[in-house]
């Protein structure tokens, strides 16, 4: 081994020249692992004025004159394993309570220089775990992960054309490296069921960890740092960074995502008022037999999801007669056998929307 200090760059001009010399396109295409890089130098010379046959180089030294008598000095480009897992969009997936096959999308990129397989495993995080998706979200519910799908259709949207594997893991096969200049990343969908008990704004943090495998599925291990460079074999080095839940240089990369429950949150308020009685013509009527009572029912949705098919059921007291008038809702009905009023409100929108109905009946 020769010890030497790196020679400083001679002039600023040389530096400037170097900066100009770096072509933008050269970094986009890289050399794939397993590529042999060969180099042969040759020397021409003369003895006096007589030109001699050139001599080519060899790794150990060649002096046999003539083209083709040298041996190329070669080495193989090694396998730099590098990958990144990230959320496809930095936003939580909104899902209603009880919703199945709700999708959070991750993206796995092969940033190394070899075609690789990856096993991706999805997980549900514990209460208190956090993720930052345009704002900090703290886990306070659990989703059930039902399947993991690989975006084989390549449209970044989950659909029938994608390869779906039940359970919490899937395999990405033959993902090209970024150095090949082709598509080097693929989207992975985590499919989950939100619990029916989820309340509006509940957060479930989920994660996806990708582990590198040889193309074809074989396990892959990094060469030890102590291994000397072997110019004749493709050696493996893990060059990946630390993801959300894995350490650097382990061939894994993880990221977190989240589901946020978008539920309707209905508040029902009912008040009663006396509209008239048969004896008080001016002033304040009282609740005496023959008086008309008006019930006002207010339904307020303060949740983040619209409530559909909202039906109010109100059993009137037996001491009241059949309703005189019913207002509000899209339709209403009265069942005299059960003394029940039903009012169909249809959809009540999200964000403090209010629907009101009134029922008037006479005290018997």
Partner 1 sequence: MKRITLMTLCSMVLLLSVPVTGFAQEKGHIELKSIAEIELETTDDKGERVWVRSPAEKAFPGDEIIFTTTYTNISEERADNVAITNPIPEQITYRADSAEGQGAVVTFSVDGGRTFDKPENLRVTGEDGRERPARPSEYTHIRWLLQGALPPGREGTVSFRGIIK
Please give the residue ranges that form the binding site for partner 1 (CB under 8 A). 1-6, 9-10, 14, 17-18, 20-23, 26-27, 29-31, 35, 37-49, 51-66, 69-70, 73-78, 80, 113, 179, 223, 228-229, 231, 235, 237, 239
Nearer of residues 4 and 136 to partner 1, judged by Cβ: 4
Instruction: State the burial class of residue 190 (Cβ atoms within 10 Å of its Cβ: 0-12, 13-18, 19+).
Output: buried
Alpha carbon distance 148, 240 (integer Å) = 23
Q: CB-wise, 21 or 318, nearer to partner 1?
A: 21
C-alpha 81/C-alpha 110 separation (Å) is 8
* Cβ-count burial 293-331 (b if 16+ within 10 Å, e if not): bbbebebbbebbbbbeebebebebeeebeebeebebbee
Lay out the sheet containing 292-301: strands in order across.
Answer: 266-276, 292-301, 353-362, 325-327
Least distance from partner 1 to the Cβ atom of residue 228, Å? 5
User: Nearer to partner 1 by C-beta: 29 or 268?
Assistant: 29
Q: Contact at 8 Å (CB) between 298 and 268?
A: yes
Helix (H) or strand (E) holding 21: helix 12-21
Sign of torsion over alpha carbons 335, 340, 341, 343:
negative
Kindly tell me which of 39 and 364 has the beta carbon lying closer to partner 1. 39
- The set of residues, in sequence order, having a beta carbon less than 8 Å from that of 159 and lying 6+ positions away, is 153
Compute CA 168 distance to the chain's CA centroid, rounded to the nearest angstrom: 14
Minimum CB distance to partner 1, residue 144 (Å): 42
Shortest Å, Cβ 38 to partner 1: 6
Min dist CB 168 to partner 1, Å, is 33
Residue closer to partner 1 by CB (options 233, 330) is 233
What is the DSSP code (8-state) at residue 233? Answer: S
CB of 21 to partner 1, least distance (A): 4
Min dist CB 19 to partner 1, Å, is 9
Q: Which is nearer to partner 1, 5 or 282 (CB)?
A: 5
Instruction: For partner 1, give the closer residue by CB, 32 or 294.
Output: 32
CA distance 71 to 179: 29
> Residue 13 or residue 126: which is nearer to partner 1 going by CB?
13
Distance CA 224, CA 68 (A): 37
Residue 30: which residues within 8 A CB-CB, separation 6 or more?
Answer: 113, 177, 178, 179, 180
Taking the complex as a whole, the smallest distance from the CB of residue 306 to partner 1 amounts, in Å, to 53
Q: Minimum Å distance from CB 18 to partner 1?
A: 4
Q: Cβ of residue 111: shortest distance to partner 1, in angstroms?
A: 11
Closer by beta carbon to partner 1, 75 or else 334: 75
């Amino acid at each position: 081994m020769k010890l030497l200090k790196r020679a400083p760059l001679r002039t600023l001009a040389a530096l400037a020249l170097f900066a100009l010399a770096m072509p933008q396109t050269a970094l986009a295409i890289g050399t794939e692992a397993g590529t042999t890089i060969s180099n042969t130098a040759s020397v021409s010379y003369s003895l006096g004025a007589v030109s001699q046959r050139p001599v080519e180089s060899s790794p150990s030294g060649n002096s046999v004159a003539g083209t083709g008598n040298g041996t190329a000095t070669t080495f193989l480009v090694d396998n730099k394993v590098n990958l990144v897992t990230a959320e496809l969009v930095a936003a939580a997936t909104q899902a209603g309570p009880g919703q199945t096959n709700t999708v959070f999308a991750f993206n796995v990129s092969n940033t190394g220089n070899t075609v690789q397989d990856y096993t991706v495993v999805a997980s549900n995080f514990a209460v208190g775990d956090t993720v930052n998706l345009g704002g900090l979200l703290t886990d306070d519910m659990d989703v059930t992960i039902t399947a993991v799908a690989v975006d084989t259709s390549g449209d970044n949207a989950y659909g029938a054309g994608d390869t779906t594997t039940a359970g919490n893991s899937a395999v990405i096969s033959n993902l090209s490296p970024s150095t090949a200049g082709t598509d080097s990343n693929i989207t992975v969908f985590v499919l989950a069921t939100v619990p029916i008990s989820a309340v509006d704004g509940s957060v479930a943090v989920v994660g996806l960890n990708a582990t590198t495998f040889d193309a074809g599925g074989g396990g892959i291990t990094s060469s030890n740092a102590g291994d000397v460079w072997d110019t004749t074999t493709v050696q493996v080095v893990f060059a990946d960074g630390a993801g959300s839940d894995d350490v650097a240089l382990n061939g894994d990369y993880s990221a977190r995502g989240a589901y946020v429950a978008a539920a309707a949150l209905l508040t029902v308020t009912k008040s009663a008022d006396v509209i008239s009685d048969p004896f008080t013509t001016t002033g304040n009527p009282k609740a005496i037999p023959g008086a008309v009572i008006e019930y006002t029912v207010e339904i307020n949705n303060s949740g983040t999801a619209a409530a559909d098919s909202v039906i109010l059921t109100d059993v009137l007291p037996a001491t009241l007669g059949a309703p005189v008038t019913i207002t509000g809702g899209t339709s209403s009905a009265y069942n005299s056998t059960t003394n029940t009023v039903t009012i169909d409100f249809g959809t009540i929108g999200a964000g403090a929307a209010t629907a009101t109905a009134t029922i008037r009946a006479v005290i018997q």
